[in-house]
Structure 1
Amino acid sequence: MLSQAARHVPRKVHTPLNSRSGQTFRAFYATIQSLRRSPPPTPELDDIDPADNDFIMSILRANPSLRDTQAYRAYFNLTPPPAPRKHEQLKDALRDPVPTTDARPPDVDTQTQSPVIASILNPIQRRTALVKVQGPFTERQLESIARGMVYLEKLGLLSVIVVENESITRGRDGERSAIVEETMRVVTALEKQGARARPVLGAVVRLGPKPGDEEDPEPQDHAIPEAHTFPSDLVHIRSALRAGEIPVVPPLALDSFCRSVRIDSNDVVAALVRGMAEAAVSDGYGQQRKDAEPAHHSDDIDLTPLRLMIINKEGGVPSYARSGLPHLLVNLTSEYTHIRETFDKQWQSSHPTSLSNLALARTCLAYMPPTSSAVMVSHRSPSSLIANLITNKPALSSSLPHAMLQTNRVLNQHTPTLLRRGLPVRVIRSAKDIDRTKMKTLLEQSFNRKLDEAPFWERLDKCLDFVVVAGDYAGAAIVTNESDPANESSVFTPVSYLDKFAVLPSHQGDGTVDFLWVALHDESYGLGSTFSANPNGGKQGVGEGRDLVWRSRANNPVNKWYFERSTGHLRMGDWVLFWCDAEVRLKIEEGRRANAGLSYLEEWEHGRMSVWGDVVMKIPSSWKKVS
């Protein structure tokens, strides 16, 4: 039985089949077609001249869930006006009872807007983002980037842009003039798209670590920025943001002799992220002032960076598991070292700055709120920035079946990579190593039910296979080996059963659900494949995968999420039985059959669902009965 609280549902993957059985067949066909030739890529929408309604279409393509919309509205303090009461509508009708005879279409601006649309297009509280524009870019490419920045501004996110042009050689004559010229190109591109931009040509950061960093006894899991800034240095950026202007900053810093010198743009971005976050705290945002008096926000702006955006020509970080196509979602806490170790040398030419940008994201997110994220995106995909802002999710969920992602034409070299601070992930194989107090708290808060402890722990002591734990029990997936009491034959293979999948409500929407499911995949039905060798403390890809089975109430709203990730499902009265086939076994069988492909029912599949049903439906409930 799985948690109804784990409702972090990815954006809907459109399919012509609306039935649940259709969703199962889609996942099945994605699995058996994984070795077929991928369809030719279609032209990206951002390569086509935008129409007048391009902004609205970008919002619609984001397809946010109800949870996404609520989170977005909370961040930007969106409060739509209440609907007019009936007697007010009647008064309006009596005031102008005679219909107009003018056949002209009404002015769009005078039409009554939906409260939700009005609140999205007129945000009350504006937030900030740090954007690294990593050129060189052509005028057409800058136009596309500027359009994306304008879209974000309309949605309430004001960008602080740091400019970089890697074609400008370090130390050459006229280097400073060239950097300033590049900064003005970005300003001009923004203004052509209707934005108000302000070049901040003076250095806003200082070289070297911030005074006092060397005295900090606590070790850091990220690199300390090699530049720093003080609140007084941010006066020009703060002034621009208050005026509704986009500050555009060149990669310059003051050295010890107060000279303005060019430095790595990553150092400027990291220093600004840290400085703006610290300035926001001193302004009273994010926490109360030391004197316990509430901050007055009406005439100021929250400098806390909500997003880090790295726009370049490379796109996201290439993944060995996707044959060089980008990572979709990165858990920096547990995957950072592994990504660096598996970075193929041939990618150094096609993605020369991926690892340095990965390190930049890790440093910046350490100073940003836990709900913040970083995105590495190609200049070809400005509309994906809207989706990231509204949903705070990757373009495609990383927990979807690998075969489905490999055959999805949306996944290409320009697909963005979303990066989050994340949580450590580990695998526990002995029931005695489980922190039972924390596990009980997690399960009861996630399911909103009381755990029947004695029989639950007794069962785990007998049949536990493994537990995947995210963070300090922020999420967990419990897998058991279930035997058939009616079949005591020694040849009976225990069923690998997903007993519990739970995430704390406070961690829903921060990527924990996807991180947890990917680790579950790597330890069960995905085991044995090259892309399952992830650093989760488990078998790291070594071993033989097994079919994974679980059940869920038929009315569980999370079932939509399970349909998209399972190989198939079977309705059993008030329950739905889900399963995921062992991926390597399907690959081996498909390779053995060569061009014949897989049959609709393999030999090992005959009768297995009846066995699964008999075993799974006999598993007792883990919850106390409601009196």
Structure 2
Amino acid sequence: MPAQPAAPRTAVIPVQTDEDVTQQADTKPPDIKHSPSPVVASILNPVYRRTALVKIQAPFTDRQLESIARGMVYLEKLGLVSVIVLENDQLPRGDSRERTALVEETMRVVNALEKQGARARPVLGTVVRLGPKPGEEHTSGSREFDPPEAHTFPSDLVHIRSALRAGEIPVLPPLALDSLCRSVRVDANDVIAALVRGMVEAAALDKNAAVREDSPSSSPEEMDLVPLRLMIISREGGVPSYARQGMPHLLINLTSEYDYIRNTFDPRWKLTHSTALSNLRLARTCLAYMPPTSSAVMVSHRSPSSLIGNLITNKPALSSSLPHALLQGNRKLTPDTPTILRHGLPVRVVRRVDDLDKAKLKKLLEHSFRRELEEDAFWARMERDLDFVIVAGDYAGAAIVTREPCPPGTPDTVAPITYLDKFAVLPEHQGDGTVDFLWVALHDETYGLGLPFSANPNGGKEGKGEGRDLVWRSRADNPVNKWYFERSTGHIRQGDWVLFWCDAEARLKTEEGRRASAGLSYLEDWEVGRLATWSDVVMKIPSSWKPKPAKKQLK
């Protein structure tokens, strides 16, 4: 199997930092065939070919189908080959012309692809079978996702394999084989879910067979069957969000947000987004079988450029962790903005040091900062000043927030400073959405409190409470500062450090409402002196790390 291309990573570096070939002998017998060098292989086969499962949710006009086909062809040129399954919401079930209409729709898509220069193949025979996979009839209830209501065996994928091997895009109508061996129309979601699972299992069998035979897992003519992306193209687009007045979600953590999104789905949206929840369920099922780096995208046919960009970069059109005010006024946020879905990780808020797994948190911090923790001093400080820790998954990421007392002489009415002491994500999780999920939870627990769009299910206050200014520092040469600039309200240079802060959003909103059209001034009365206070406190916070050993100088 060719090596999987690494998912693009969000360059996240922890908040607080204190720094920022052996020659091979030619002894092989002449009868052993030398494998081509990686450099030669990359030149001969420069693009790794991977698969994407695509649901085209018709009906579409010829013009719309042309736009969709153009996107599929461009993706193929970049090495992402689509396996397309059709659906037609307006074709009544049980109609006498049902099968004929499905075949005609399949041929329309094939012709649209070929007009754009691609080679496509209609796969009109049944590839999946109705019902649970034999032997799993009674195990579905124990899973955290909805298992497919259809299945497929490796031998059933022969037509899809043949098309992919020949450089063709397979296009399938939503047909399945029932218990009486009849080809019947089923929901396209069942076909796609069965194909995702079946292709993952078939790829695993291919890999095991290659290992047993001690041969390369695939040749240049083969391709990795494991789906890298799931794409749902419809007239509806992404999943609407109540926090954005019905505009689409940008990035969804299915592990922690699935039930919440379903529970907060406005009944009025069922008129305009009638299949949003069923497609959300399809994404959860498929991503449970796909690799952790995979993603799904729900996109409108009206946004082909975003469709292409999101599939290749694996990022939402706009980061969900950007300030809400920037998202609301951004031109990129439209009803046709795609929704990216990741399998994600559970997110929880821990408020007591005794409830933390110290060994795992220490490992996370040291791996992320690449420094050795001064444990005794660090944990003593946490016992004294800890406010809360947001933990993603099994300590794949964490945000540590402390309460820093104000200097002597500060009025008792002034609350302690809410300080982001550490923000860390393991390198292997810096491309799977964990960074944004963690920052959104941090927003909801601090400067976003008091507003309805902070009521996310992260185990914290769920939007209830009074927002607090969030302050943190970063080395001036930290390459991630650009990321912090985009998410902070302001910053100020302090020698070798940069001091960042995020103002409590509810307070800003209240002040703007009070002043109406006059707007906010550059310096409000309540802001006077706070930067001096923050600098005085934050810059005196001791390092959490053991000193680096001095470098030996050459004599």
Residue deviations 1:255-292 (CA, integer Å, cap 9, x gap): 111110000000000000000010000000xx686748
Residue deviations 1:113-159 (CA, integer Å, cap 9, x gap): xx9xx89xx64421111000001000000000000000000001111
Q: Shift of residue 410 of structure 1?
A: 1.1
Residue deviations 1:291-342 (CA, integer Å, cap 9, x gap): 4835431142211001000001111000111110000000000000000000
2:521 & 2:217 partners in 1: Cα distance? Answer: 67
Matches within 5 A, 1:459-498: 459-487=381-409, 489-498=411-420
The amino acid that maps onto 1:244 is G
Matched, 1:170 2:172: no
Residue deviations 1:158-212 (CA, integer Å, cap 9, x gap): 1100011111100111111011111111001001101000000011101111111
Match of 1:139 in 2: 62
**1:293 aligns with one of 209, 214, 218:** 214
Q: Does the 8 Å contact 1:428/1:434 carry over to 2? A: yes
2:497 & 2:532 partners in 1: Cα distance? Answer: 14
**1:8 aligns with one of 3, 6, 10:** 10
Q: Does the 8 Å contact 1:205/1:254 carry over to 2? A: yes
Match of 1:179 in 2: 102
Q: Which structure's relative contact order is higher, taking Cα pairs within 8 Å and 6+ residues apart?
A: 1
2:101 & 2:247 partners in 1: Cα distance? Answer: 34
Matches within 5 A, 1:64-143: 123-143=46-66
Q: Does the 8 Å contact 1:425/1:470 carry over to 2? A: yes
**2:163 aligns with one of 222, 233, 240:** 240
Q: Does the 8 Å contact 1:152/1:385 carry over to 2? A: no
1:283 & 1:420 partners in 2: Cα distance? Answer: 26
The amino acid that maps onto 1:340 is R
Q: Shift of residue 487 of structure 1?
A: 3.7
Alpha carbons of structure 1 residues 79 and 296: separation in structure 2 relative to 1, 3 Å: closer
Match of 1:148 in 2: 71
Match of 1:195 in 2: 118
Alpha carbons of structure 1 residues 343 and 493: separation in structure 2 relative to 1, 3 Å: same
Match of 1:594 in 2: 516
Alpha carbons of structure 1 residues 7 and 547: separation in structure 2 relative to 1, 3 Å: farther
Q: Shift of residue 598 of structure 1?
A: 1.3
Matched, 1:259 2:182: yes
Query: What is the SS of the residue equivalent to 1:303?
Result: strand
Q: Shift of residue 428 of structure 1?
A: 0.4
Match of 1:503 in 2: 425
Q: Does the 8 Å contact 1:452/1:623 carry over to 2? A: yes
Larger displacement relative to structure 2 (246-255 or 216-225): 216-225
2:422 & 2:117 partners in 1: Cα distance? Answer: 52
2:497 & 2:418 partners in 1: Cα distance? Answer: 18
Q: Shift of residue 218 of structure 1?
A: 7.9
Residue deviations 1:25-55 (CA, integer Å, cap 9, x gap): xxxxxxxxxxxxxxxxxxxxxxxxxxxxxxx
Q: Does the 8 Å contact 2:47/2:78 carry over to 1? A: no
Match of 1:515 in 2: 437
Query: What is the SS of the residue equivalent to 1:222?
Result: coil
**2:239 aligns with one of 294, 313, 317:** 317
Residue deviations 1:426-480 (CA, integer Å, cap 9, x gap): 0001111111000000000000000000011001101111110000000000000
Q: Does the 8 Å contact 1:450/1:624 carry over to 2? A: yes
2:324 & 2:39 partners in 1: Cα distance? Answer: 40
How many equivalent residue pairs?
Answer: 517
Match of 1:277 in 2: 200
1:295 & 1:370 partners in 2: Cα distance? Answer: 24
Matches within 5 A, 1:381-420: 381-420=303-342
2:212 & 2:540 partners in 1: Cα distance? Answer: 60
**2:362 aligns with one of 405, 427, 440:** 440
Query: What is the SS of the residue equivalent to 1:593?
Result: helix
1:431 & 1:582 partners in 2: Cα distance? Answer: 26
**2:172 aligns with one of 236, 240, 249:** 249
Residue deviations 1:551-604 (CA, integer Å, cap 9, x gap): 000000010100000000000000000000000000001111112111111111
Question: Identity percentage over the alignment?
Answer: 72
Alpha carbons of structure 1 residues 579 and 149: separation in structure 2 relative to 1, 3 Å: same
Q: Does the 8 Å contact 1:326/1:413 carry over to 2? A: yes
1:538 & 1:214 partners in 2: Cα distance? Answer: 38
Q: Does the 8 Å contact 1:426/1:537 carry over to 2? A: yes
The amino acid that maps onto 2:159 is H
Alpha carbons of structure 1 residues 583 and 489: separation in structure 2 relative to 1, 3 Å: closer
**Which 4+ runs in 1 deviate beyond 6 A?**
78-82
Alpha carbons of structure 1 residues 296 and 432: separation in structure 2 relative to 1, 3 Å: closer
Matched, 1:222 2:145: yes
Matched, 1:160 2:83: yes
**1:455 aligns with one of 372, 377, 382:** 377
Q: Does the 8 Å contact 1:123/1:156 carry over to 2? A: no
Q: Shift of residue 383 of structure 1?
A: 2.0
Q: Does the 8 Å contact 2:389/2:399 carry over to 1? A: yes
Matches within 5 A, 1:545-584: 545-584=467-506
Query: What is the SS of the residue equivalent to 2:371?
Result: coil
Q: Shift of residue 489 of structure 1?
A: 4.9
Q: Shift of residue 385 of structure 1?
A: 3.0
**2:262 aligns with one of 340, 350, 365:** 340
Q: Shift of residue 381 of structure 1?
A: 1.6
Matched, 1:268 2:191: yes
Q: Shift of residue 625 of structure 1?
A: 0.5
1:280 & 1:407 partners in 2: Cα distance? Answer: 44
Q: Given the two structures, how large is their TM-score scaled by the length of structure 1?
A: 0.80
Q: Shift of residue 394 of structure 1?
A: 0.7
Q: Shift of residue 390 of structure 1?
A: 2.7
2:182 & 2:110 partners in 1: Cα distance? Answer: 24
2:511 & 2:212 partners in 1: Cα distance? Answer: 69
1:416 & 1:491 partners in 2: Cα distance? Answer: 45
Alpha carbons of structure 1 residues 292 and 427: separation in structure 2 relative to 1, 3 Å: farther
1:155 & 1:548 partners in 2: Cα distance? Answer: 42
Match of 1:365 in 2: 287
